[in-house]
Structure 1
Amino acid sequence: MSLLVNMLLEWQDTKTDIEIERVLWIDPSGTDVVTIEINNSKALPKWQKCKDLEVAIASQEICILKIDPYAELLRPENAISENHCKRRDRAWEVIGPLVEGDIELIFNPRDRGQRIEATVERTGCIKKTIYNYLRRYWQGGQTKNALLPLFDRCGAKGKERKPSNCKRGRPSKLSKVTEIPIGVNVDDKIRKKFYRGIASFYKNRQERTLKDAFQKTLEKHFHVGYEMKNGALVPILPPARELPTFAQFRYWYEKERNITQEKISREGKRRFNLRHRALLGNSTQMAFGPGSIYQIDATIGDIYLVSSLDRNRIIGRPVIYFIIDTFSRLITGFSVSLEGPSWLGAMLALENATSDKVAFCYEYGIEIDEADWPTHHLPEAILADRGELEGYNADNLVNALNIRVSNTPPYRADWKGIVERNFRLSNEKMIHWMPGAVNRVRERGDQDYRLNATLDLQQFRKLIILCILDHNQHHRMDWYRMDEFMIQQYVEPYPIELWNWGVQNRGGHLRQIAPEIVRLNLLPFAEASVTPQGIYYQGLNYTCELALREQWFVKARANGRWKILIAYDPRRLDIIYLRLDDSRRLEPCQLIDTQKTFQERDWHEAIDYFELQKQSKEAASTRQQQQKATFHAQVDKIVAEAKEKTEKVLTVQSKRSRIQGIRENHKLERENEREVQAWQLGVKEISDQPGQLIPMPSVTELEEDDEGYVAPPKPIDKLRKLREKSWNNDQ
């Protein structure tokens, strides 16, 4: 292989670490060659034979390098600082005449010495400086830029300086005046204190400045003791000349700095992901065409509205939902309501995304063509946050409408940045300038912006429609990343243009379903119970013609209750819907007449009422338990007194003798009760003496084993016989 000027040759069999030579000059006859070692700070040009080097290359004793370590010097002129250019040009003025023209002479040691002597007289530079310039020129590839200052190689890059007795670094102004070294060198011990101070006082959620962290580090780790002042221990610091400086503290902080770890420590993982993470992706990459992914989100509008019934009443701020196509940035649906961010607001926005926009805009007095807002479809997927589209309602979208629902992680609104950014655009374009808009910057004496509220819900919805139409047709997105096919067809970066191009070239993602089916599957669903009192759900009972016709309530009383699937509108409590035929048909159910109290109420009011009832029941449990305890104590006392009195007067009788006199005893007790409790009208004074004890007829005590005893006949037996005889005669 032939040799070339500036070729790098690495010797393979050398015992040293690395030996690399650069070809500086080749004899026109091809006999001699001049080389120089590029990694030797005292190297000079060396003459060799071309044949010897070629043989070494052929025998693989020499390896030809393809990457030049000095290639970084070959950079454009505008990338070099002015100061570095001046240093380079100054060095070139010194050695330029030596390396131009007949350069063979400079490689000859005898001629080189004479020419350098002449250069010393011409420039006033010492020989060492001239040799350094020449060596840098030859080792760097014999270009003018090889004379650029190599400040990046100063200071033993990657190596720490060893401590020494003298103070390193530029002396301070005070040190120059006093000629006394002031300050300390940072050794391993001081450096460890720096790291502990940074970890304790800077890398935390208190968000101190680096200057404050340095002061706290001095107080914590560099004090020489404490003194008591006003009951507090105050750290005593050495003189400033014996302490490290803030510049040293900052140097070691930046040297070991991990900016990712620092941001997470000071602001938390959530805020780091939201504000400081690397921006390497693009939301458009998630969608292949229109309808691939819709993004949905809600915000509270920065404007106060008035009631359409009484415009003197300020009703607060509305909740705005937007649905945006990820591929084209076209707004496909929206809702404006007073419902908090919930499934209801999302349901209204999704229903609007599938509705005919021409008819919808006509309801608000706005006439458009189909091409102005051509969206009335369902997407393949919806991206939302962890809120209203998480749970059973979202499962219904997946199962019934075949829409894939994805939720972003907590506190990661940046994952659906397209719809998030649209809220800001709406504020900047329209809401911020409307009467009643929220004024974030208020000064003392300013009028309350809420008093400026003028628009009602209908008027605000109309303004939002106009804002959406303007966005879809005229919002130019020069930052949108076009692919090669869009560029070839000269697609303009407007949402409507991207949508139309995507429908023609990347279709197949949009689906159209009948509005009634969409509404059916957007309504929240739950399980109700068929009971004898009606179809029971959330404390209320409903009925319908189907249930009456098929005798559901009678069957529930005979066989027990059973579950049934229903759908309901959170805005109406007086009606629910039975989901029949695998949710393809609805059967409306009305409240039963006995529960008309809840007519014209919403579910939130009913749920609150029943929840308050439960709370009242739980609150009354203490009272009930105490009342039961009092009742049981009184009962036990009366029973104990009765036992005590009975045991005192109880005579020795057989069990049978006590039982056989029950009827007679009952008769005598009844007669006594009549006499004692009888009303005595017209009698002013009634004796307060208690009733006298009626003596009971004594019964001769019988032996317990006297089983042949027969009770004497009683008058009641004669009456029974006469009655039976009378019945027999009648027959």
Structure 2
Amino acid sequence: MKKYDLLRSGDSIIRVLDIRGDRILMIDCIKQTMPVWLDSELLESYVGCTDGELFEVSSVDVIRDTDALDADQRKIMHERYTMIAPIVSFISDDKMRSKLIGSIAEESKVSKQTIRSYLCLYLSYLDITVLAPKKHQSERELTQDEKNIRWALNKFFYTTKKQSLMTAYTMMLKEKYCDAMGVLSEEYPSFYQFRYFYRKTRKMQNFYISRDGLKNYQRNNRPLVGEGVQEFAPAVGVGMLDATVCDIYLINEEGNLVGRPILTACIDAYSSLCCGYSLSWEGGVYSLRGLMLNIIADKVTWCKRYGISIEKEDWDCDMLPATFVTDMGSEYKSENFEQIAELGVTVVNLPSYRPELKGLVEKFFDLIQETYKKHLKGKGVIEPDYQERGAHDYRKDACLTMMDFEKIILHCMIYYNSRRIIENFPYTEAMIADQVKPYASCIWEWSKSQIGANLINVGSRELMLTLLPRTVGKFGRTGLKVNKLRYHCEGYTEQYLSGGTATVAYNPEDVTSVWVIENGSYVEFILIESRFKGKDFTEVQEIQTSQRDIIKSAARDNLQAQINLAQHIEAIAGSVGTHKDIHMKNIRSTRKREQMKNHQDYMREGVSHG
């Protein structure tokens, strides 16, 4: 018997670690308990053993080739050996061994039992590779209980009903572990097993999507690992459009409650500058037209209309961004808005319920409303509890008109553009060299002159004509017929005579003019029927409808009159006999005699009757 020999007796295998006279320090390689001293006579039944037999009995697969281990396995293997290496030298000294185990455990911030486990494992095999962690094994086949738990989680927990784990557990027992009478069987998994399986297999992405929906996950929970808007807006010229209902109630000039106004805005994705806005009672395409006009307006002149004086550099935006990023709102998908592409603008429609993809405009609304709401409490501003039962009726606090509120909004936007510090803007070296201030207006002004800036200069008339709704007009002898009205323009005689159709832009608010689109240009046609001039399309339709109703109501009387007329004519004609011998000579003299006979002095008759 020598030091480090393996000895076997049945299924028990020990390793000799030290020999002192008749006493032997040994470790049980199967149970892997701490080494103990025994008398050598107690080991007389043990015979020599090989490492192969040890591996076979212990069912341990030791990878002796360290090259077969990956980097993490080798790292952990050496870290574990480093912890126990000082103890191996004092393995025969119980007191010193215990002291070292305690100090190393405290230094390594692991438990003493962990140090003992590593030490016993190494001493049993005397091979450093046994300290390497095992590679993740392929998933074992689930037990029937685990399959039942997985089924219950999918059916009752991972659903939009948002049931609790205890409810899902109870439903599993009801469905899988009860007999036909509903009596619970003797054997069933505990709730702790149920919860353990859930925690072991839970994937947070699946949790959020299954319980809250994909759209909510995309909006509130998805990982934010992108670089930001600079990924698709490397320079100015990408405008993000959206609208919101303001959190305030307004009144009109007479003091009557009107409601909450709609704020529509365009935010440059690169600089976060507010390019333009529209504040109105109407949304949809109407507010978009107002927004487009405001984007290209001179902001100094615009602010003067409200008694606000600003410098041009505070809000120097009078051109359209070449790209508009919108959501799936009906006004943005309408043909009217998509016609703006004729000016060279690209419209990008984002998926619905994805506000994070145009987060700048969403943040703009938050900042603007946070700015004015704290100063307007008690003046119609609504609080988060406005929909709760028993909450204060904020409509009764309304005291501002639309004009008052628009002045406030303008001041908030001026602050947002020219004085709000953008702390997280990704400054370039060129911007730092030029000492660009961290304001949206300064970033915008600097970026406009850089390569890649994509802005379109367009006049207000051309912009509005582009956004007008369109229809098909028909040429005829009576002029160009559009929406059941007739229009005329000099130089189109040939089209009137030959007929044909044309694409026509019309203004629903005033039918006085329409515009025929020819090769990208707009030719104005004037309304022929002057009675409709200055009226909007709805008024004209009402007049035409009323006229048709009147005519339709008289149709029966007209038919009856035609029938009566025919009867009278037939009666008169039937009472007159036929003349077979008609004299054809001296027609002139006959006509003259008849003229003399029937001649009347109308003047004398008029005086006498007067």
TM-score (norm 1): 0.58
Q: CA deviation at 1:346?
A: 1.1
Match among 236, 247, 257 for residue 290 of structure 1: 236
Match among 250, 274, 278 for residue 305 of structure 1: 250
Mapped contact 2:209–2:217 kept (Cα < 8 A): yes
The one-letter amino acid paired with 1:259 is M
1:527 is paired with a residue of what secondary structure? strand
Match among 258, 264, 269 for residue 326 of structure 1: 269
The share of aligned pairs that are identical, in percent, is 24
Q: CA deviation at 1:222?
A: 1.1
Match among 345, 362, 383 for residue 420 of structure 1: 362
Q: CA deviation at 1:161?
A: 8.7
Provide, for residues 498-541 of structure 1, a one-character-per-residue CA deviation record: whole Å limited to 9, x for no partner: 213322434542232233323332333333334566654445x2
Q: Equivalences for 1:387-402 in 2 at 5 Å?
A: 387-399=330-342, 401-402=343-344
What is residue 173 of structure 2 aligned with on the other side?
218
Mapped contact 1:357–1:370 kept (Cα < 8 A): yes
Distance 1:604 1:476, change over 3 A: farther
Q: Equivalences for 1:572-721 in 2 at 5 Å?
A: 572-579=509-516, 582-585=519-522, 587=524, 589-590=526-527, 592-595=529-532, 600=535, 602-603=536-537, 719-721=579-581
If you compute each CA radius of gyration, which structure gives the higher value, 1 or 2?
1
Do structure 1's residue 335 and structure 2's residue 278 form an aligned pair? Answer: yes
What is residue 501 of structure 2 aligned with on the other side?
563
Q: CA deviation at 1:250?
A: 1.7
> Which consecutive unaligned segments of at least 5 residues does structure 2 have?
1-31, 34-64, 103-111, 557-569, 592-610
2:320 is paired with a residue of what secondary structure? coil
> Which consecutive unaligned segments of at least 5 residues does structure 1 have?
1-40, 43-60, 76-87, 100-105, 107-111, 163-186, 227-234, 628-665, 675-714
Mapped contact 1:568–1:575 kept (Cα < 8 A): no
Match among 119, 129, 145 for residue 133 of structure 1: 119
Distance 1:159 1:603, change over 3 A: same
Q: CA deviation at 1:296?
A: 0.7
Distance of 1:469 and 1:565 partners within structure 2:
41
Distance 1:322 1:449, change over 3 A: same
2:471 is paired with a residue of what secondary structure? strand
Q: CA deviation at 1:321?
A: 0.7
Distance 1:511 1:124, change over 3 A: closer
Q: Equivalences for 1:4-403 in 2 at 5 Å?
A: 67=71, 69-71=73-75, 96=86, 106=89, 116=93, 119=96, 132-133=118-119, 158=137, 188-226=143-181, 235-238=182-185, 242-281=187-226, 282-291=228-237, 293-308=238-253, 310=254, 312-340=255-283, 342-386=284-328, 387-399=330-342, 401-403=343-345
The one-letter amino acid paired with 1:290 is V
Q: CA deviation at 1:157?
A: 5.7
Distance of 1:288 and 1:140 partners within structure 2:
62
Distance of 2:394 and 2:460 partners within structure 1:
40
Distance of 1:303 and 1:336 partners within structure 2:
13
Provide, for residues 464-520 of structure 1, a one-character-per-residue CA deviation record: whole Å limited to 9, x for no partner: 111111011222222333345445555443212321332243454223223332333
Distance of 2:589 and 2:95 partners within structure 1:
172
Counting matched residue pairs gives 498
Distance of 2:408 and 2:462 partners within structure 1:
29
Distance of 2:127 and 2:437 partners within structure 1:
50
Mapped contact 1:284–1:327 kept (Cα < 8 A): yes
Q: CA deviation at 1:604?
A: 5.6
Mapped contact 1:354–1:375 kept (Cα < 8 A): yes
The one-letter amino acid paired with 2:418 is Q
Do structure 1's residue 498 and structure 2's residue 432 form an aligned pair? Answer: no
Distance of 2:66 and 2:269 partners within structure 1:
59
Distance 1:438 1:604, change over 3 A: farther
Mapped contact 1:306–1:454 kept (Cα < 8 A): yes
Query: Which has the higher relative contact order, 1 or 2, with Cα contacts under 8 A spaced 6 or more apart?
Result: 2
Distance of 2:393 and 2:545 partners within structure 1:
37
Mapped contact 2:505–2:517 kept (Cα < 8 A): no
The one-letter amino acid paired with 1:286 is F
Provide, for residues 357-397 of structure 1, a one-character-per-residue CA deviation record: whole Å limited to 9, x for no partner: 11111111111111111111122211112232224223421
Distance 1:211 1:364, change over 3 A: same
What is residue 523 of structure 1 aligned with on the other side?
468
Q: CA deviation at 1:344?
A: 1.7
Distance of 1:141 and 1:487 partners within structure 2:
60
What is residue 723 of structure 1 aligned with on the other side?
583
Distance of 1:425 and 1:611 partners within structure 2:
49
Q: CA deviation at 1:137?
A: 11
Mapped contact 1:574–1:591 kept (Cα < 8 A): no
Distance of 2:511 and 2:98 partners within structure 1:
110
Q: CA deviation at 1:612?
A: 11
Distance of 1:612 and 1:273 partners within structure 2:
52
Mapped contact 1:347–1:522 kept (Cα < 8 A): yes
Mapped contact 1:302–1:437 kept (Cα < 8 A): yes
Mapped contact 1:492–1:498 kept (Cα < 8 A): yes
Mapped contact 1:116–1:130 kept (Cα < 8 A): no
Mapped contact 1:580–1:587 kept (Cα < 8 A): no
Mapped contact 1:568–1:576 kept (Cα < 8 A): yes
Distance of 1:723 and 1:568 partners within structure 2:
67
Distance of 1:494 and 1:322 partners within structure 2:
18
Mapped contact 2:313–2:445 kept (Cα < 8 A): no
Do structure 1's residue 430 and structure 2's residue 372 form an aligned pair? Answer: yes
Distance 1:269 1:324, change over 3 A: same
Q: CA deviation at 1:283?
A: 1.7
Q: CA deviation at 1:131?
A: 9.4
1:723 is paired with a residue of what secondary structure? coil
Q: CA deviation at 1:423?
A: 1.1
Mapped contact 1:529–1:535 kept (Cα < 8 A): yes
Q: CA deviation at 1:605?
A: 6.4
Mapped contact 2:252–2:402 kept (Cα < 8 A): yes
Distance 1:120 1:670, change over 3 A: closer
The one-letter amino acid paired with 1:429 is T
Mapped contact 1:525–1:568 kept (Cα < 8 A): yes
The one-letter amino acid paired with 1:353 is I
Q: CA deviation at 1:121?
A: 8.9
Distance 1:70 1:603, change over 3 A: farther
1:223 is paired with a residue of what secondary structure? coil
Q: CA deviation at 1:275?
A: 2.3
Distance 1:210 1:533, change over 3 A: farther
Distance of 1:275 and 1:527 partners within structure 2:
46
Do structure 1's residue 440 and structure 2's residue 404 form an aligned pair? Answer: no
The one-letter amino acid paired with 1:210 is L
Mapped contact 1:290–1:506 kept (Cα < 8 A): no
Distance of 2:99 and 2:383 partners within structure 1:
75
1:297 is paired with a residue of what secondary structure? strand
The one-letter amino acid paired with 1:316 is G
1:290 is paired with a residue of what secondary structure? coil
The one-letter amino acid paired with 2:184 is L
Q: CA deviation at 1:139?
A: 11
Distance of 1:317 and 1:140 partners within structure 2:
80
Distance of 1:481 and 1:283 partners within structure 2:
11
> What's the Cα RMSD here?
4.7
Q: CA deviation at 1:611?
A: 9.4
